[in-house]
A and B are shown apart, each in its own frame.
Chain A
Amino acid sequence: MTAIAPESAEQAPAPPARPVGGGSSRLAHGDRGTTTIAHIVLVVWAVIVIGPMLWTLFSSFKTTNEIFSSPFGLPADWNFDNYVSAWTEHAIGTWFVNTVIVVGFALAGVMLLGAMCSYVLARYSFPGRRAIYYLMLAGLTFPPFLAIVPLFFVLDNIGLLNTLPGLIVTYIAFALPFTVFFLYAFFKTLPEELAEAAAIDGAGHWRTFFQVMLPMAIPGMASVAIFNFLGLWNQFLLPVALNTDRDNYVLSQGMASFVSQAGYAVDFGSMFAAVVITVVPVLIVYIVFQRQLQGSVSQGTMK
């Protein structure tokens, strides 16, 4: 599959002894020049990425006055007042809890339903199987903006508009195509003998799925779950359009409303703190699952 050394040189075993000096010194010199430029470019990018994040972090510990009087230095003293006020006064706490509830249930739901649906589509034969699969694929490509207006009324009609359960089912439905698309390929590759063995042992369809197939699919499920988690946590359009009750806000839309509140009255310190509160959970998930995340992308891109 891959024969290239790990991308991080410092983790790689020591390189083989380099040929020293000789006729290629001119080349080596040019090589060093290019390497230096490459490093400079990457360092500049790293600064562009990290700088704003650190600045936000530092600002979150400053009072609004301090933010305006000395936007740059480190905070005079590291106080957590902004975090307290963001969490309580500005309802970040409520929105955070809402987000955890909505994303948690939606993630569990879409993983279960997605696994079931893709299993049936991948391993059973019945009329219309292909049609359903292609319909799912089509659902991946349409811009959700087109659906948002009628969706508003679908939810209204079944009484789920402005409720967390309404948001959860919508999240599940919109994350389903991606999940099915990904897991379909995964269930296709599981060996047929397993299902046969299970059938000979007397397992029905339900048991075969839950006790044989699903455990086998866990590595694939984990990758999809990471993507779905990030996607659902970041979801913005659906809650903004379908969930207008302030008490039911999720973080992303709460943040947006926070910012759009009348310009001068905004409590900037709390806003910085809110940004940090929103970023930290995903950043932790990323750092913990970093390797798997990369693996899952390679799985998705390799044929």
Chain B
Amino acid sequence: MTEVVDGGDAIAKVGARAPGRRRAPRGGLRPRMSWEYVSFLAVFLVFPVGLFLLFVIWPFAQAAFYALTDWSGFSDEFNVVGLDNFVKLWNDPLFMTAVGNSMKLALVVPLVTVVVSLAFASLITVGGQGRGQIRGLGGSGFYRVISFFPYVIPGIVIAIMWRLILDPQMGLVNGVLTGIGLNQFEDFPWLGRVATAMPWTMFVMIWGFVGFYMLLFIAAIKGVPAETYEAARLDGAGRIRMAWSVTLPLIRDNVQTAWIYLGIGALDGFVYVVALNPSGGPENSTLVMSQQLFRTAFTQGQFGYASAMGVILALVTLLFAAIVFSVNRLLGGRDEKGRA
């Protein structure tokens, strides 16, 4: 292919004028200005982009500004207070608790979800018998369809369902536990104790996430040529060795993407924590940043302060993504050296 596939504007323009080339190279048509063209651009470009700017970009920009004010949201008056909100946040024990809880979620949930969904995806795609054609475990079609169910259940419904399941009196969990003779759990309030509220919240989120990431990893593993696995098997690699030394390095980018999305999902976590424990959990043990932001903005009417929380949340999210990128690069770098 001689054409510029992904050329920038400048290249496309040069291409358009180069003799002997097609008039409209890839990367852009350069049509004449006409009423038809102008109306076309207005509807196809200006309208959607305008909508996006007004409802997405503009609020983001405003939020960054409000974070520097003491605006309550209910009056027209506000003062620019500089970084006062951020100083206040630093000294706000409730918010710092929320930050800590969000961090816990962002560490545990992606780790467990990636490990579990990668293991299941490996079993389903290449974890079959050790001889013959490379294929998944018998009956894996069944496991695949079942495991994806939670993916299509709305997050809020997942959380509500688990709240009912964890209900002390009628819940499924306590019923099963007392059913097998553990009578001390008869009225155990799983979501009402500091020691168990957060772990169950994590579990519910993982339960909801695993299906999608299995789907993602299965798709990625299917993109790996079977010969690679056959070669590994001839070298005597077992299932775990194959997952660790073949699958993981080959779908590294997918794992990184998954990790970032999971981290963002866990840092948000709003739907889950709100439905499982609207009050923030026993002693605020499941209160997360997004929940505290929402309360501050819409219950307490401190919009400036809440925007500052939003800025912190955005920064933590970006920081998280940056860490995942760097870790992946560091590990990848070591691999390259090892191979050389």
Contact = CB atoms under 8 A, between A and B. Distances in A.
Interface in A115-144: 116-117, 119-121, 123-127, 129-130, 132, 135-136, 139, 141-143
A120 B41 contact: yes
Contacts, number: 361
B89 interface: no
Interface in B254-295: 254, 257, 264, 267-268, 270-271, 274-275, 278, 290, 293-294
A19 B131 CA distance: 9
Nearest to B238: A34
Contact of A252 (B26, B66, B156): B156
Contacts of B165: 52, 55-56
Interface in B38-56: 40-41, 43-45, 47-49, 51-52, 54-56
Contacts of B179: 72
Contacts of B27: 125
B97 interface: no
Contacts of A139: 52, 56-57
Given A7-B141, A169-B55, A149 B146 contact: no
Interface string A88-131: 00000000000000000000000001101101110111110110
Contacts of A275: 157, 160-161, 164
Interface in A135-157: 135-136, 139, 141-143, 145-151, 153-154
B60 A45 contact: no
A301 B219 contact: yes
A113 B51 contact: yes
Contact of A7 (B25, B136, B150): B136
Interface residues of B, number: 132
B303 A149 contact: yes
Contact of A125 (B12, B132, B155, B224): B12
Given A28-B130, A120-B41, A146 B311 contact: yes
Interface in B163-216: 163-165, 169-172, 175, 179, 207, 210-211, 215-216
Nearest to B297: A149
Interface in B4-35: 6, 8-9, 12-13, 16, 22, 24-31
Given A127-B9, A176-B51, A294-B218, A119 B132 contact: no
B68 interface: no
B52 A282 contact: no
A236 B270 contact: yes
B183 to A, nearest CB: 15
Interface string A21-60: 0001001100100110011011001101111110110010
Chain A, interface size category, equals 35 or more
Contacts of B95: none
Given A8-B144, A125-B12, A268-B170, A117 B48 contact: yes
B278 A9 contact: no
Interface in A237-294: 237, 240-241, 251-253, 255-256, 259-260, 268, 271-272, 275, 278-279, 282-283, 285-286, 290, 293-294
A137 to B, nearest CB: 12
B328 interface: no
Interface string B233-264: 00000110000000000000010010000001
B17 to A, nearest CB: 12
Given A7-B124, A55-B165, A145-B270, A117 B49 contact: yes
- The listed residue with most B CB atoms (<10 A of its CB), out of A5, A143, A154, A195, is A143
A279 B150 CA distance: 10
Nearest to A69: B170
B134 A4 contact: yes
A256 B160 CA distance: 8
Interface of B: 6, 8-9, 12-13, 16, 22, 24-31, 36-37, 40-41, 43-45, 47-49, 51-52, 54-60, 62-64, 66, 73, 116, 119-120, 123-157, 160-165, 169-172, 175, 179, 207, 210-211, 215-216, 218-227, 229, 238-239, 254, 257, 264, 267-268, 270-271, 274-275, 278, 290, 293-294, 297-298, 303, 306-307, 310-311, 313-314, 317-318, 321
Interface of A: 1-12, 15-16, 18-19, 24, 27-28, 31, 34-35, 38-39, 41-42, 45-46, 48-53, 55-56, 59, 67-68, 71-72, 113-114, 116-117, 119-121, 123-127, 129-130, 132, 135-136, 139, 141-143, 145-151, 153-154, 169-170, 172-174, 176-177, 180, 188, 192, 195-196, 204-206, 209, 230, 233-234, 236-237, 240-241, 251-253, 255-256, 259-260, 268, 271-272, 275, 278-279, 282-283, 285-286, 290, 293-294, 297-298, 300-302
Given A142-B60, A154-B55, A192-B22, 13 more contacts: A9-B136, A16-B133, A31-B131, A121-B45, A205-B37, A233-B154, A234-B155, A236-B271, A240-B294, A260-B278, A271-B160, A286-B148, A294-B219
